[in-house]
């Protein structure tokens, strides 16, 4: 597994850094592309939708995993 890659974003007017493995960044970039969004817009969408007890990095990993599962099912 790859090491964590940290990227910085501005969400709701605040700078934040997110550390994810490269594989998750790749999956999120692919999902953003499919949705016609920038990576920043996708992350802002996930941030706005997550619960108050959910960590942003965890929410991003979950959406990347769910998206990969949906793509796998649709290709069957």
* Domains of the chain by start residue, with CATH: 4-74 (1.10.3990.20)
- The pLDDT of residue 1: 60
Q: Which residues pair with 71 in a beta bridge?
A: none
Distance CA 20, CA 15 (A): 17
**Chain segment 9-53, per-residue pLDDT in tens:** 999 899 999 999 999 999 999 999 999 999 999 999 999 999 999
**Tokens 């999120």 belong to residue:** 28
Asked if 60 contacts 19 with a C-beta cutoff of 8 angstroms, the reply is: no
- The pLDDT of residue 10: 94
**Residue partners of 20: CB distance under 8 A and separation at least 6:** 4, 5, 7, 28, 57, 60, 61
Beta strands per DSSP E along the chain: 4-11, 14-21
């Amino acid at each position: 597994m790859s090491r964590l890659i940290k990227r910085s974003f501005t969400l709701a007017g605040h700078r934040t850094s997110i550390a994810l493995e490269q594989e998750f960044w790749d999956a999120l970039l692919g999902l953003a592309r499919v949705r016609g969004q920038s990576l920043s817009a996708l992350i802002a969408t996930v941030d706005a939708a997550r619960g108050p007890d959910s960590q942003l990095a965890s929410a991003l990993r979950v959406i990347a995993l769910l998206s990969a599962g949906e793509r796998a099912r649709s290709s069957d």
